[in-house]
Chains A and B, each alone.
Chain A
Amino acid sequence: MIRVQAEDFDPGAELEALTKGNAGIGGVCSFIGLVRDIADGERIGAMTLEHYPEMTRRRLEEIEAEAMRRWPLEGCTIIHRHGRLEPGDRIVFVATASAHRRAAFESAAFLMDWLKTNAPFWKLEETGDGERWVAARQSDDDAAARWADKPASE
């Protein structure tokens, strides 16, 4: 399940929706990304996320399908917010459900690494010196690359 929205979400309700009625699920792994108040040593007042809606939808559908292909998942939820967010606000939610924990842990990490480098979002930070666009990080590219040749787990 994929959603891109301006409004906040309720992680508990999302986990409940993901697992409800499926007793074949033995484990759920979730990750929530939050807006930090410090970035590169500077205090952040707020952040605005811009995205490319039609392309975002396609890329998220693609990566959800890829995660389901690589791991034996019973379900997965990806929620990404856009618009203006303040420190402490939730940005992104990823949850994966599987019969066993390993598939849930690995696929959640895969989804986040992939989101960072392929989902067409851009962050504009508000600092004391004005606004600045966040630059992409090599470490994020490296994190995504480690999944490139990794076969599906057992």
Chain B
Amino acid sequence: MKLVYFAWMKEKAGISEETVNPPATVTDLGQLVDWLKERGEPYTGMFQNMAAIRAAINYEYVKIDAAVGPDDEVAFFPPVTGG
């Protein structure tokens, strides 16, 4: 599973993307976030306030209960500020 980060999420992560292999019990985005936080920093800091974070799976905006699988590209970022 590929994870990509943008804006302050990327700064806190210290990287813009990484590949992770969560266990098969991780089937939705909320479980993925919980699994990442169990690994400690920087994830605990990055995912401290989920209300401040948006996500996309395979380039589509999704909610926190969206299903996620090993071949997905999952992006985490703050609310967008384009235009």
**Which residues of A are interface residues toward B (Cβ below 8 A)?**
33, 49-52, 54-55, 58, 80, 91-92, 112, 115-124, 133-136, 140
* Of the residues A80, A91, A122, contact of B78 by C-beta under 8 Å: A122
Q: Are B8 and A133 in contact (CB under 8 A)?
A: yes
State which of B6, B10, B59, B80 has its C-beta within 8 Å of the C-beta of A136: B80
A12 to B6 alpha-carbon distance, docked (Å):
33
> Can you show 6 pairs from A to B with CB atoms below 8 A apart?
A51-B6, A52-B56, A55-B60, A115-B82, A117-B80, A135-B79
Tell me the total A-B contact number using a CB cutoff of 8 A: 71
Residues of the A chain whose Cβ atoms lie less than 8 Å from the Cβ of B83: 33, 80, 91-92, 112, 115-116, 119, 121, 140
B81 touches A134 (CB 8 A): yes
The interface bits of chain B over 45-76 (1 if a CB of A lies within 8 angstroms of the residue's CB, else 0) are 00000000000100111000000000000010
Interface residues on B, range: 10 to 19
Do residues B82 and A80 form an inter-chain contact, with CB atoms below 8 A? yes
Separation of A52 and B17 alpha carbons in the complex (Å): 12
| A52 interface neighbour in B8, B77, B79, B81, Cβ under 8 Å | B77
The smallest beta-carbon distance between B77 and chain A, in angstroms, is 7
In the complex formed, the residue of B with least CB distance to A115 is B83
Most buried by A among B8, B60, B79: B79
Which of A54, A133, A140 is close to B7, meaning CB atoms less than 8 Å apart?
A: A133
Query: A119, A124, A133: which contacts B82 (Cβ < 8 A)?
Result: A119
User: Is the CB of B4 closer than 8 A to any CB of chain A?
Assistant: yes
Residues of B near A117 (CB, < 8 A) are 80
**Chain A residue contacts of B10, Cβ below 8 A:** 50
- Indicate which residue in B6, B7, B80 contacts A118 across the interface (CB closer than 8 Å): B80
- How many Å lie between the Cα of A122 and that of B61 in the bound state? 15
Q: How far is the CB of A14 from chain B (nearest CB, A)?
A: 17
Q: Verify A124–B7 contact, CB threshold 8 A.
A: yes
B15: shortest Cβ distance to chain A, in Å? 14
Do the beta carbons of B6 and A52 come within 8 Å of each other?
Answer: yes
Query: Which residues on the B side are within 8 Å of A135 (C-beta)?
Result: 78-79, 81
**Cβ–Cβ contact B7 & A50, under 8 A:** yes
- Contacts A50-B7, A133-B7 given: A122-B59 contact, CB under 8 Å? no
